[in-house]
Amino acid sequence: MNAPSAIAKLNVLVRSVTYLAKDIFSFEFVDPTGQALPGFTAGSHIDVHLPGGLIRQYSLCNDQDETHRYVVAVLREPNGRGGSMAMIEAVRPGTTVTISTPRSNFKLAPGAKRHVFLAGGIGITPIMSMIAAVQAQKQDFHLYYCSRSAERTAFLDVLNPLIAKGLATVHHDGGDPAKSLDLKSVLREQQPGSHLYYCGPNGMLNAAEAASEHWAEGTRHCERFSAGSAAALVPNESDRPFEITLAKTGKNFTVPADRSIVQVLKANGIIVDTSCEEGYCGTCMTRYLDGEPLHRDSVLDEEDREEFMMVCCSRAKSARITLDL
């Protein structure tokens, strides 16, 4: 059986696949009947269901005001987990794929007076959508975009006018960490009302967090493409068994100390969509109705955690937790 999900799915048509830079391609999805797609906000991402049962998350890089299409950009990673290769090698114009409706864990701060964007490599994708949004609102911003070389820099043609206006800085390090952008200098001073948004490889994100640790609470916003060093995701000896109840069927299961909720559900024929299984992608987000979760994700904010949990990694503080499944 398939468990109901908090995330709706839809079938879309691949209208185009475009070369953006070395090993980076964009994919344009539209409604097969020409209808408008569900709206999204800058910084949102979608799940893409790929051949072989893979599910991968890709940030939307187009303008949030475009209701007729979704655009994502994918970096070819031969040594990755297989998602990018499946996307680039198997998804062609004219084919239909299943995706999720957009959701966002990476949002523009509504009260910000200035936006500072920091992107590393393919981490530019959600920030392109954010830049379009702040430009439409005539808000102050600056982009720092780090890549290995000009040939590996996606969207450079779009960004060149911003570079000419002094609104964007593109830094090439040639793959040499010693030549990385000086983040301590860039982030040394926080202008009043400024918010920082950063996305890219874990090494860069960790460096950005360290360089901006003096920024005011609530003014730093990060999206990771992997769990990184999030210690909360590491099982520990204090984990203990707990019970789960499925509200829609009344079924009860025990989750042992060494297994996840998802693993127990799948072992009992209940399929929940998953991708990262480390708490950073949001695919397995599930509503709980009773009990107290032990949250171990790096996605949900405090408000979301009052209603949802990530069943791939989170556990229960209470003896029992009831899921809306």
Please tell me the distance from the alpha carbon of residue 215 to that of residue 262, in angstroms, as a whole number.
37
Q: State the pLDDT at residue 5.
A: 44
Q: Tell me how far the alpha carbon of residue 20 is from its chain's centroid.
A: 20
Give burial (CB, 10 Å; 0-12/13-18/19+) of 78. exposed
Helices (H), the chain: 83-90, 124-136, 156-164, 183-186, 202-211, 261-267, 302-305
Q: State the pLDDT at residue 235.
A: 54
Q: State the pLDDT at residue 3.
A: 40
User: What are 90's strand-pairing partners?
Assistant: none
Mean pLDDT, the chain cut into blocks of 10 residues (325 residues total):
59 96 96 96 93 86 97 86 80 94 92 96 96 97 96 95 97 90 96 96 91 96 67 60 95 93 92 78 88 86 87 93 95
Q: Tell me how far the alpha carbon of residue 294 is from its chain's centroid.
A: 22
Q: State the pLDDT at residue 178.
A: 87
Question: Contact, 203 vs 228, CB < 8 A?
Answer: no
Q: What does the DSSP 8-state code read for residue 60?
A: B
Q: What CA–CA distances, in Å, run from 121 to 149, 193, 267, 283?
A: 10, 27, 38, 23
Question: Contact, 5 vs 248, CB < 8 A?
Answer: no
Please tell me the distance from the alpha carbon of residue 250 to that of residue 256, in angstroms, as a whole number.
19
Q: Which residue has the tokens 């590393």?
A: 120
Q: State the pLDDT at residue 281.
A: 74
Handedness of CA 149, 154, 159, 160 (dihedral sign): positive
Q: State the pLDDT at residue 298.
A: 73
Please tell me the distance from the alpha carbon of residue 62 to that of residue 71, in angstroms, as a whole number.
6
Measured in degrees and rounded to the nearest 5, phi and psi for residue 34 equal: 85, 10
Radius of gyration of the chain (CA): 20
Q: Greatest CA span in the chain, whole angstroms?
A: 62
C-alpha closest to that of 325 among 308, 302, 304, 306:
308
Q: State the pLDDT at residue 4.
A: 40
**Helix, strand and coil in the chain, % to nearest 5:** 20, 30, 45
Q: Three-state DSSP class for 87?
A: helix
Q: State the pLDDT at residue 274.
A: 80
Q: State the pLDDT at residue 232.
A: 43
Map out the domains of the chain with their CATH numbers.
Answer: 9-100 (2.40.30.10), 114-224 (3.40.50.80), 233-323 (3.10.20.30)
DSSP of 264-287, one letter per residue?
HHHHTT-B---SSSSSSS-TTEEE
